[in-house]
Structure 1
Amino acid sequence: MSNFLSNNTNPNPNPNKSIEVNQPPTDSVSSLNFSPKSNLLVATSWDNQVRCWEVARDGANNVATMPKASIAHDHPVLCSAWKDDGTTVFSGGCDKQVKMWPLLSGGQPITVAMHDAPIKDIAWIPEMNLLATGSWDKNIKYWDTRQPNPVHTQQLPERCYAMTVKHPLMVVGTADRNIIVYNLQNPQVEFKRIVSPLKYQTRCLAAFPDQQGFLVGSIEGRVGVHHLDDSQQAKNFTFKCHREGNEIYSVNSLNFHPVHHTFATAGSDGAFNFWDKDSKQRLKAMLRCSQPVPCSAFNNDGSIFAYSVCYDWSKGAENHNPATAKPYIFLHLPQESEVKGKPRIGATGRR
């Protein structure tokens, strides 16, 4: 694996001329999530904070960002999720707890979930009115936020590294390249367990919008496209991305476009790209930023793509230079040509 800073010669944190979010976190950003109902953006970070900005659009390209509110955890925050009505934010991390923050009502955060080790990923499941939390304590827990104890605890074979939910599909990636698939209509039973199609550690997952499969990204600059139905296995494939010659970088984030169902990848090479899995084409490659891109997110209509540019801690504290590692959050306004799928090369007729 490469030492990012010594190989990326581009000193510009914003070569794609994206819109810079005002008053970003003071340490690396660990997750980004837009409200499902509005252009409120939440970021969690290694400075123990959860911050929210209001993103306002005036015309085609005039975008303003205004810090709205923030709350603190006791230790670095690793993950976030919104309630489906857009009123409430959940956040979890190294203090082994999830806080529920009634953001729109201005209420105080309360602890609604606990684990025995840091919480790596969380998901609100509106169809079940439950919060799912995945931890390095090798458990998934489901919580009714009105009750102090989990309604169900599902043991994992290893530490949870990533989780994605598109009801009734839930996919969990753990250490040792395990990928466990659950049908949330029967969450107490594993639907399927597979070994990752990628040879190295899982970093991120994204469920297909049609719930027929998932994307998986690894530390080795590769993405796997995996269908769940045995009859669809011929459609499975992997592809390389976030590589520069012999230098290989982690794929840190996978996001499906909410309208076109194409997807974005973001990597430790400082780039983000847009792809169409159905035609197996890259739609757009963006210029590399001066630091890794550890997380990203589309807003609810896909007109805004948020991404962070900051140190990703993959090289440890000894390679962290506060003088050059200023965290940024940027907003990119995708053109339709960047995110709308294209016909498969060589295909005839309409898709």
Structure 2
Amino acid sequence: MTSPFPQQFPTTRLRRLRQNGWIRSLTSENVLTPSDLIWSMVVHDGDEARIPVGSMPDLYRLNVSEAVKAARKASSLNIPAIAIFPHINPSRKDETGREALNPDGLIPDVIKAMKDAAPDVGIICDVALDPYTSHGHDGLIDSEGYVLNDETSEMLVQQAIVQAEAGADVVAPSDMMDGRIGAIRKALEAAGHTNTMILSYAAKYASGFYGPYRDAIGSATALKGDKKTYQQNPANSDEALREVAMDIAEGADMVMVKPGLPYLDIVRRVSETFAIPTIAFQVSGEYAQIKAASARGWIDGDRVMMETLLSFKRAGAAGIITYFAEYAGELLND
């Protein structure tokens, strides 16, 4: 096979372009900036300002007042958006997750407070029932424990409308029910929320990297069984393209690949195939791995953090949801 790059040594010395700071900067193919980051944030409905998450060092559940401070900080760091996830009091959970539809609940309160404090920061809201259900699944279940698709979608539509009414800029269905994007888009249009965007968790895999997140939102001990009947098989790549194609056809404005680093091939395939804003989610397990190895001195935590974030850009991601956003934003601003 003839090489498309016929350069030969010593006529070509690629190390010439790596010798010092200015030339490395000039020839960088990808650049990471604060505007590439989406701050992944867990909020709670208690009075305590900050509650540490044991499995995620240096991460805290924030109450409404602290979330407001974080929104202002995101604005100062030029971080364009925050993705919020709820930890609610177990007394408000039930089999159906009805608290997700409460217009005076935690998430609507947080949305309103953050938008008042930092109107220039986009608010992205998770649309799913797992933080609200006593069984920890993303939807309604039947007597056999199977998650019901159409009945769940009906609730997700109502949840998305509640979030849009509260002022969310983006609703982000993470449940992986078939057809829910089209149903949500139709409902948003009918309710006059024509500018509310949909970020679809279009390629969300049944991954082992979500454990610390479930600890953070309080669903880890509640989860009965697994989520393999609705989240994607990690063995599949073509299936992700089918999922993305369907969600775009139904009205998604952006699509997501989750988890991030183990699925960079999916990020690349999706971004190249569809030319639609593709978001990578650097999930809780990825965060915890880096923090744990760094704490033991096995890796340079800051360097690895920035390297992984840059890898998402290199793979074609338009943005990265990450628990590192605040700290990475500080380093990038410095």
Query: Normalising to structure 1: TM-score of the pair?
Result: 0.28
Structure number with greater CO (CA < 8 Å, separation at least 6) is: 2
Higher strand share: 1
Query: Normalising to structure 2: TM-score of the pair?
Result: 0.29
